[in-house]
Structure 1
Amino acid sequence: MGWKTDWRSFYYAGAEEPEDIAIDAAKTALLVIDIQNTYLEPPEDPEEAARWAPFLERMNQTVIPNTRALQDWARGEGIEVMHARIACLREDGRDRSLSQKKPGFNYLLLPKDREDSQIVEQVGPQGDEIVVTKTTDSALTGTNLRMILHNMGIERVICAGIFTDQCVSSTVRSLADESFEVLVIEDCCAAATMELHEHELRVINMIYCHVMSSAELRGLPIGAAVS
């Protein structure tokens, strides 16, 4: 068992194991997506608070500490640490994509300077680390991140953050479509429920990315990519 065989969907049940991965630090970035204050605020309604309690527990006990540890590891290895957050540039949110204006959970009015739109402090940027602000799900579609990655010579992007089945998945698919190699770190991500989280990891694994744990990632050799 391990990342080469775990998280397989129906499509890849019988596929050959992928090749070994070596991390070329100079060509790799760690992108943390949408771990923002608003998502750690318990709902005021008691029933909604109960529904979201498992998500908040996973965020506070697993995703945030694991992500911070991953960031520290990446910084120590010379891997670029980057950040994406979802927010609107106008106070009225007119600049948001249609998906962010529809009623329901995905409706977001997060002006960029408001406290609830800021990145959670524990996993926030250090020094001059790049932060992109997006107005749609994909961090690539909604920003100039594509150009930034190309300008910096990045070929592989390690993804962490929330929500696995929404902004993480959209970003991963966009990166894959642009021919970036993508790794998704399963214990640094969360969806509203574990069922949604695990289902989406199986959907995107092997075709758009490789899914692995943070321990498996740190166990990969640092050096030139395996040809």
Structure 2
Amino acid sequence: MKLDRKFVSFYYDSMDEFPDYEIDPKKTMLLLIDLQNEFCSLEGREAKYFKETGVWDQWEPYFNRLHNTTIPNSKKLLDFFRENNLPVSFGRIACLREDGEDRSPVQKSEGWNGILLPVDSWAAQMVDELEPRKNEIVVNKTTDSVTTGTNYLHLLRNMGITTVVVGGIVTDQCVASTIRGLADEGLQVITCEDACAAADIELHDWELKIMNVIYTYVVSTDEAIDLVKKEL
């Protein structure tokens, strides 16, 4: 298959085509990561904090991308998987105790990593457009990666999943660590670049370029849908 050269790194400069994935739609899972009210909503604590502290101008492009590109494309993926009765999953940051004592040490730390999202809170829920339905898997985590400290990989093995299509936030943190975890387990990973976002577009582009080919194939949402659709 051909890949967008924008996301092809130095390591693969000499390659024009890359081996096709062998995709079985029934063994292909959608995974949407951390597209939660806390991180996406303009009413969430993060957005309010950025406005109150005078850095909104710096963060506004990220929120614009979320609402104009990332969430609509994630919804497009979700609709496709649902319409074709293909398996869907969500990874989200959520602790089981209201005091957050079950969180990993990194999420108990002060500053940027300090996150307290009780599982039943509004902040912890996926945004309305991506609300999970019955029989769709929701994995709660207090780490970056959906594969670390959860039973997600166990669930994938139980279901015979061989390919995971990924979208979510943020590209260079939770998305990237999840992709690496999936790839290390031998899963084929398809990353939809326009269904992901990072705080800064350069971070987004560079992280995808670093991961492309070795851990995942980086494609657009439409290309990912086409890859699965042609095997239906």
Q: Report the TM-score when normalising by structure 2.
A: 0.90
Pair 1:124–1:3, CA change in 2 (3 A): farther
- Superposed counterparts of 1:203-214, under 5 Å: 203-214=210-221
Deviation at 1:16, TM superposition (A): 5.3
Structure 1 position 92 matched with structure 2 position 106? no
Deviation at 1:106, TM superposition (A): 2.0
Q: Residue 61 of structure 2: SS of its match in structure 1?
A: helix
* Gaps in structure 1 of 5+ consecutive residues: none
CA distance in 1, matches of 2:19, 2:82: 26
Deviation larger for 21-30 or 211-220: 21-30
Deviation at 1:24, TM superposition (A): 1.2
Structure 1 position 68 matched with structure 2 position 68? no
Structure 1 position 105 matched with structure 2 position 112? yes
Deviation string for 1:83-141 (max 9, x for gaps)? 11001112222222222223222210111111111111101212221111011011011
* Gaps in structure 2 of 5+ consecutive residues: none
Pair 1:29–1:19, CA change in 2 (3 A): same
Structure 1 position 78 matched with structure 2 position 65? no
Deviation at 1:4, TM superposition (A): 5.7
Match of 2:19 in 1: 19
Asked if 2 retains the 8 angstrom alpha-carbon contact of 1:22 and 1:223, the reply is: no
Match of 1:176 in 2: 183
Structure 1 residue runs of 4 or more that deviate by more than 3 Å after TM superposition: none
Q: Report the TM-score when normalising by structure 1.
A: 0.92
Give the paired residue count: 224
Deviation string for 1:133-153 (max 9, x for gaps)? 011011011310111100111
Match of 2:230 in 1: 222
The residue identity in structure 1 corresponding to 2:31 is L
Asked if 2 retains the 8 angstrom alpha-carbon contact of 1:25 and 1:78, the reply is: no
- Computed over aligned residues only, the root mean square deviation of the Cα atoms, in angstroms, reads 1.8
Pair 1:22–1:72, CA change in 2 (3 A): farther
Deviation at 1:76, TM superposition (A): 2.0
Deviation larger for 209-218 or 88-97: 88-97
